Chains A and B, each alone.
Chain A
Amino acid sequence: MTTYYSEEHEWITIDGETGTVGITDYAQKALGDIVFVEVPEIGADFAKGDEIAVVESVKAASEIYAPVGGTVTAVNEALEEDPAMVNSHAESDGWFYKVKIADAGEVSNLMDADGYKEFIAGLE
């Protein structure tokens, strides 16, 4: 299993054909207290870069863009009850959805952990 990162601060952990997607710890800090996550519907097909989810804090709503294209196979229903999990465990239990990846080649445009660390260092 390898984890990759996008410039929009999503992470995706690849396990065979399936990816698990969430937002990074850096992103959750920037958003503040998260009050709601709108996850996609299971079975939805979408392309890389499509708007796939929405994260809401009290005063802001941020769109989440799909880091890779594919079909949604599962969503994290626990977030409905406890959206704060994205604040406390952004890169583990706070995952958003799982995707059956359509084109494995799209992963190559993403950053690895070191690359992302460098990327956010450059933002500060």
Chain B
Amino acid sequence: MRYLPHGQSDRREMLAVVGVDNIDDLFRDVPSSALLKTPPDLPDHMTEMAVERRFADFANKNISAGSGPFFCGAGAYHHHVPASVDHLIQRGEFLTAYTPYQPEISQGTLQTLFEFQTQVAQITGMEVANASMYDGSTACGEAVLMACRATRRKKTILSGSLHPQYRDVVATMTRYSGNSLRDNPVGMYRVDDLINQIDDETACVVVQNPDFFGNLQDFTRLAEVAHAKKALLIVVVTEIISLGAVRSPGSMGADIVVGEGQSLGNGLCFGGPYVGLLATRQKFVRTIPGRLCGQTVDAEGRRGYVLTLSTREQHIRREKATSNICTNAGLCALAFSIHLTLLGEKGLRHLARLNHAKAVRLADRLDAIEGVEVINDSFFNEFTVSLPIDAAEAVERLAVQGILAGVPLSRLYPGDAALENHLLIAVTETVTEEDMDCLVTALKEVVK
């Protein structure tokens, strides 16, 4: 077997050194009733080629994003990742290293985390960022728990235009924490309504920008009112490329910014693994969940990096830890960071402008179709259209033609009659003029 180095003679020699006759003697602490006498009922080992064939079968039953016109978003975006990113993250020294607990032989991982934290803090307009979370949705849940700790309050107000699955994850993570959630009607994106809900018991208000339907807003006034009541503003960003074109949450007064970093460096991969971002103000640094990398010096005074402030974490604080999280999304964070380094300031801004330009172009073309209406006043690279027919049905019919036209809102809000005809459409730099032609032509037919 290709992954197992021992031959039978090795095993015999080693058993002799251990002083037992056969391998099952080493399993003698297992109750004999529980030790399997025969292997489990599964196929035996396969050659590399056979495994590849089996997986090609799986793959061939799916339509990939790159194989045709593609417009799905809703928190996961189809962007082009430079070849060098994927090459670098597959270097064994990054891919097959553990968490950098031994800093003397982990400076590669640690320095890239330090650079990652700096990049995340910069684009979100915040002072500090952690070394990443599982994904945007769990980062959002952690941010709410963090805000409750920092304010010693228990009430959270959720915007009605927060990604509905993020909302559900927040509900799961806070269910037994003694915190209460105030939901708002889906689709409500009037800042004034949220402002009126903030009171002296509010720990935080959670909003998203661009919101789930693609709209952009300025949260400066919301932040001011929240701060006047000593509550925190949490801003969620699920399309991180947008920060190359729009003002950062930090500049609007956000106290915690959480994001989904998948758009940079990480493929769609059917929903994971992705990379959660969490950034905040310096004064909250000791209430941050997850890992933090910090700068220091070695015994000879040379600059180096270590994991730090670990007394917040579960292996020391146990039940009093800031979170139960024991890992980050190391390799995904590295991919994010390499991609952002290749882009730099200039590239990120250009990429954002390119995404927005294409989205504006497609929005205008779709809006011109009779019966189709773009409902957004503003957007970055994603917007919502209303169709004269059921959106899920339209998507299915277009999928048959190889066009993945977007995410029907009924997929996320089943049973909400008001949203049945609404389709969420994302347009990234990967969309060509021909892709737009295909969608426009086909959609005209479908809505006829």
B residues near A57, Cβ cutoff 8 Å: 311
A residues near B320, Cβ cutoff 8 Å: 61
Q: When chains A and B are docked, how far (Å) is the Cα of A58 from the Cα of B313?
A: 12
Tell me, rounded to whole Å, the shortest Cβ–Cβ distance linking B427 to chain A. Answer: 47
Residues of B in contact, count (CB < 8 Å): 6
CB under 8 Å from chain A, chain B span 247-286: 286
Instruction: Name B315's closest neighbour in chain A (CB-CB).
Output: A59
CB–CB B286/A38 < 8 A = yes
Mask, A73-89, CB within 8 Å of B = 1, is 00000000000000000
Q: Does chain A have a CB within 8 A of B56?
A: no
Q: When chains A and B are docked, how far (Å) is the Cα of A38 from the Cα of B316?
A: 16
CB–CB B286/A59 < 8 A = no
Tell me, rounded to whole Å, the shortest Cβ–Cβ distance linking A118 to chain B. Answer: 32
Q: Does chain B have a CB within 8 A of A60?
A: yes
Q: Does chain A have a CB within 8 A of B221?
A: no
Q: When chains A and B are docked, how far (Å) is the Cα of A76 from the Cα of B406?
A: 57
CB contacts between A and B, total, < 8 Å? 17
Tell me, rounded to whole Å, the shortest Cβ–Cβ distance linking A80 to chain B. Answer: 10
Q: Does chain A have a CB within 8 A of B310?
A: yes
A residues near B311, Cβ cutoff 8 Å: 35-36, 56-61
Q: When chains A and B are docked, how far (Å) is the Cα of A60 from the Cα of B315?
A: 10
Instruction: Name B318's closest neighbour in chain A (CB-CB).
Output: A61
CB–CB A61/B316 < 8 A = yes
Q: Does chain A have a CB within 8 A of B361?
A: no
Mask, A85-107, CB within 8 Å of B = 1, is 00000000000000000000000
A residues near B286, Cβ cutoff 8 Å: 36, 38
Tell me, rounded to whole Å, the shortest Cβ–Cβ distance linking A87 to chain B. Answer: 16
B residues near A59, Cβ cutoff 8 Å: 310-311, 316
A residues near B316, Cβ cutoff 8 Å: 59-61
A residues near B310, Cβ cutoff 8 Å: 58-59
A residues near B229, Cβ cutoff 8 Å: none
Residues of A in contact, count (CB < 8 Å): 9
B residues near A60, Cβ cutoff 8 Å: 311, 316
Instruction: Name B317's closest neighbour in chain A (CB-CB).
Output: A61
B residues near A56, Cβ cutoff 8 Å: 311
Interface on chain A toward B: helix, strand, loop, or mixed SS?
strand
Q: When chains A and B are docked, how far (Å) is the Cα of A60 from the Cα of B316?
A: 6
Q: When chains A and B are docked, how far (Å) is the Cα of A96 from the Cα of B286?
A: 18
CB under 8 Å from chain B, chain A span 36-85: 36, 38, 56-61
Q: When chains A and B are docked, how far (Å) is the Cα of A36 from the Cα of B311?
A: 10
Tell me, rounded to whole Å, the shortest Cβ–Cβ distance linking A122 to chain B. Answer: 29
Q: When chains A and B are docked, how far (Å) is the Cα of A58 from the Cα of B308?
A: 8
B residues near A35, Cβ cutoff 8 Å: 311
Q: When chains A and B are docked, how far (Å) is the Cα of A38 from the Cα of B310?
A: 15
Instruction: Name A38's closest neighbour in chain B (CB-CB).
Output: B286
Q: When chains A and B are docked, how far (Å) is the Cα of A59 from the Cα of B306?
A: 13
B residues near A58, Cβ cutoff 8 Å: 310-311
Mask, B294-313, CB within 8 Å of A = 1, is 00000000000000001100
Q: When chains A and B are docked, how far (Å) is the Cα of A56 from the Cα of B286?
A: 11
Q: When chains A and B are docked, how far (Å) is the Cα of A60 from the Cα of B312?
A: 10
Interface centre among A38, A58, A61 (most CB of B within 10 A): A61
Tell me, rounded to whole Å, the shortest Cβ–Cβ distance linking B186 to chain A. Answer: 38
Q: When chains A and B are docked, how far (Å) is the Cα of A43 from the Cα of B295?
A: 36
Tell me, rounded to whole Å, the shortest Cβ–Cβ distance linking B230 to chain A. Answer: 12
Q: When chains A and B are docked, how far (Å) is the Cα of A59 from the Cα of B312?
A: 10
Tell me, rounded to whole Å, the shortest Cβ–Cβ distance linking A83 to chain B. Answer: 12
Q: When chains A and B are docked, how far (Å) is the Cα of A56 from the Cα of B309?
A: 9
Interface centre among A36, A56, A57, A60 (most CB of B within 10 A): A56
Q: When chains A and B are docked, how far (Å) is the Cα of A36 from the Cα of B287?
A: 13
Tell me, rounded to whole Å, the shortest Cβ–Cβ distance linking A114 to chain B. Answer: 34
Q: When chains A and B are docked, how far (Å) is the Cα of A121 from the Cα of B317?
A: 29
Mask, A15-35, CB within 8 Å of B = 1, is 000000000000000000001
B residues near A38, Cβ cutoff 8 Å: 286
B residues near A36, Cβ cutoff 8 Å: 286, 311
Q: When chains A and B are docked, how far (Å) is the Cα of A57 from the Cα of B311?
A: 8
Q: When chains A and B are docked, how far (Å) is the Cα of A35 from the Cα of B294?
A: 14
Tell me, rounded to whole Å, the shortest Cβ–Cβ distance linking A84 to chain B. Answer: 15
Tell me, rounded to whole Å, the shortest Cβ–Cβ distance linking B184 to chain A. Answer: 32
Tell me, rounded to whole Å, the shortest Cβ–Cβ distance linking A45 to chain B. Answer: 14
Q: When chains A and B are docked, how far (Å) is the Cα of A36 from the Cα of B309?
A: 9
Instruction: Name A59's closest neighbour in chain B (CB-CB).
Output: B316
CB under 8 Å from chain A, chain B span 313-362: 316-317, 320
Tell me, rounded to whole Å, the shortest Cβ–Cβ distance linking B140 to chain A. Answer: 26
Q: When chains A and B are docked, how far (Å) is the Cα of A104 from the Cα of B287?
A: 35
Tell me, rounded to whole Å, the shortest Cβ–Cβ distance linking B90 to chain A. Answer: 34
Instruction: Name A56's closest neighbour in chain B (CB-CB).
Output: B311
5 smallest CB-CB distances across A and B, nearest first, come from: A61-B311, A56-B311, A61-B317, A61-B316, A60-B316
> Could you write out 6 A-B pairs with CB less than 8 Å apart?
A35-B311, A36-B311, A58-B310, A58-B311, A60-B311, A61-B317
Chain B contact residues, CB within 8 Å of chain A? 286, 310-311, 316-317, 320
13 extra A-B contacts, CB within 8 A, seeds A58-B310, A59-B311, A61-B316: A35-B311, A36-B286, A36-B311, A38-B286, A56-B311, A57-B311, A58-B311, A59-B310, A59-B316, A60-B311, A60-B316, A61-B311, A61-B320
Chain A contact residues, CB within 8 Å of chain B? 35-36, 38, 56-61
